[in-house]
Amino acid sequence: MGGSTHGNYPVGDTKWKLPFGNAKEHKLQQYSINVLTKARQLEKMSPPASVAAWTARIGDLPWHKIWQIKPMYVAPRDTATWLKIQHRTLWVAKNGGCDSTTCSAASCQHEETQLHLMTCSIIKSEYWEKIVKYARTFGIDADNRPAYWLGHAGNGKAVGREQAAIIALAWRSLYAQVVKARLDNKVLRLDVAYYNFTRFMLSRVKAYGTKWRRWFLNQRLWQQTRMKMFPLRHRDNALIKLTAEAEYTIADGMYRLMDEARHQTLP
């Protein structure tokens, strides 16, 4: 470790930097076993092969930031499809096991690959573009690029936590219909995929608000002098607003967009 250059003994506010890893400088007392172990692990970790594969197809992305994304609202199961597409382990028709390797979207004759799920003109116009409009309705920045659906917001930045939640649920809804189309040997139902996405988003946001409201109610009468308010920095979100007492209000447009998607879904 390198220390102070102003004397023989480090002063209390002297910051130290580890000679390995990319950890930030910290005061000496902040270097716990946990911090040192993580720094060693990060130093030994090598990027997965998917990074080079995606770079060859769509260009360089800030993967070190993308891997750190923690989506809001969603459960770990909701992020599984998104993580698989990032790691290039998502099963698609090109991998075999189906009667055809052609994309199941109506009138599409291209081979179904992981990249094709983001670049297919039919899926882009009838599904991904709707996801973009959904996000922008609530003031959430979104664009219809393959890099965005992997977690790149542009300008060397990763998407935010609410953006990540939308992307994760969009992938889950789309892939569920891709698999169903293969099993039933039918055309890919993008209208159903979008409707399911709106349902998932509403249910996850409601569950998020309910969780924090229950947290407040459970602790408010335990010790009045130690009662905690909901943190100010987490109250104002695009999809949900919370008060100091964790009373929540869901964005009105979420109900409207779900109802519109349900009416537009064919029988």
Residues 39 and 54 in one domain: no
> What is the domain extent for residue 171?
49-264
Residues 2 and 108 in one domain: no
Cβ contact 243:230 at 8 Å: yes
Q: How far is CA 48 from the centre of its chain?
A: 19
Structure tokens, 101: 């390797």
Pairwise CA distance, residues 54 & 9, whole Å:
49
Count of structural domains within the chain:
2
Q: Is 158 helix (H, G, I), strand (E, B) or coil?
A: strand
Q: What is the pLDDT of residue 167?
A: 98
Residues 72 and 147 in one domain: yes
Residues 88 and 199 in one domain: yes
Among the listed residues 192, 166, 197, 195, the one whose alpha carbon sits nearest the alpha carbon of residue 177: 192
Q: How many helices (H) and strands (E) does the chain have?
A: 11, 6
Residues 56 and 178 in one domain: yes
Among the listed residues 172, 125, 173, 167, the one whose alpha carbon sits nearest the alpha carbon of residue 149: 167
Residues 110 and 238 in one domain: yes
Q: What is the pLDDT of residue 37?
A: 74
Asked which of 30, 45, 60 is the last residue of a domain, the reply is 45
Residues 3 and 111 in one domain: no
Pairwise CA distance, residues 253 & 257, whole Å:
6
Residues 219 and 149 in one domain: yes
Residues 94 and 206 in one domain: yes
Cβ contact 238:140 at 8 Å: yes
Q: What is the pLDDT of residue 224?
A: 67
Residues 179 and 258 in one domain: yes
Structure tokens, 193: 């995929």
Among the listed residues 265, 79, 240, 91, the one whose alpha carbon sits nearest the alpha carbon of residue 169: 79
pLDDT in tens, the chain (267 residues): 444 445 555 555 666 666 555 556 666 556 677 777 776 766 666 678 899 999 999 999 999 999 999 999 999 999 999 999 999 999 999 998 888 899 999 999 999 999 999 999 999 999 999 999 999 999 999 999 999 999 999 999 999 999 999 999 999 999 999 999 999 999 999 999 999 999 999 999 999 999 999 999 888 776 666 788 999 999 999 999 999 999 999 999 999 999 999 999 877
How many CB atoms neighbour CB 126 within 10 A? 17
Residues comprising the chain, all counted: 267
Pairwise CA distance, residues 207 & 210, whole Å:
5
Cβ contact 35:23 at 8 Å: yes
Residues 18 and 133 in one domain: no
Q: What is the pLDDT of residue 22?
A: 55
Residues 57 and 25 in one domain: no
